[in-house]
Amino acid sequence: MFITFAFVTLLGALGMLLQKNVIVAGLCMVATFFGVAGLFLLLANPVAAALQIIVYSGAIMVLVLFVIMMLNSHEEEAAQTARPVQRWVSVALVAALAFGAVKLVLTSAGLKALAVSGEPMPGAMTLQKVGTTLFAEHLLGFEVAGILLLAAMVGAVALTKRNL
């Protein structure tokens, strides 16, 4: 299962990067979101999976595709061919980053705890648990995020609608 979802995620991401067609790239991104939602499910967090699909695939990508269709840019201009130096530098950078990420995961405390102790997995996440966590432990962060979003929304309206 993990392998399947991981492949869906990675293939989606790769497809999104390599695809010339913007709409198809967007679809690949949806596939990636699906893969990630599947991974969330495997991590016993169905709430995050559902929210991932509702918010990202259901709303954000639809809006993005909407905007793409509205601007009607079906074909992108051909990008300038990269010089070999750039290519090598980027490959080296990506390799370094990937190496660092994998090493970080392998040496993390969580993995060791998982390998050593045979204690039972924590129960599946539910909406109730998410709620209590948000409003009890992370209340300040939640409120700050809410204020930030509100400010962003007001700003967006103020920017686009000149004569209020």
The footprint of other proteins (CB under 8 A) covers 21, 23-24, 27, 30, 44-47, 49-51, 53-54, 57-59, 62-63, 65-66, 69-70, 124-128
Angstrom distance (rounded) from CA 143 to CA 137: 12
To the nearest whole angstrom, how small is the minimum distance from the Cβ of residue 54 to other proteins? 5
Report the distance separating Cα 149 and Cα 145, nearest Å. Answer: 6
**CB of 91 or CB of 134, closer to other proteins:** 134
**CA–CA distances in Å: residue 44 to residues 5, 38, 41, 48, 124:** 14, 10, 5, 9, 5
Nearer to other proteins, 63 or 116 (CB): 63
Residue 73 C-beta: closest distance to other proteins, Å = 13
**24 or 145: whose CB is closer to other proteins?**
24
* Closest CB to other proteins among residues 32, 45: 45
What 3-state DSSP class applies to 121?
coil
Query: Shortest distance, CB of residue 68 to other proteins, whole angstroms?
Result: 9
CB of 27 to other proteins, least distance (A): 7
Q: For residues 71, 56, 102 and 46, what is the CA-based torsion angle, rounded to 10 degrees? A: -170
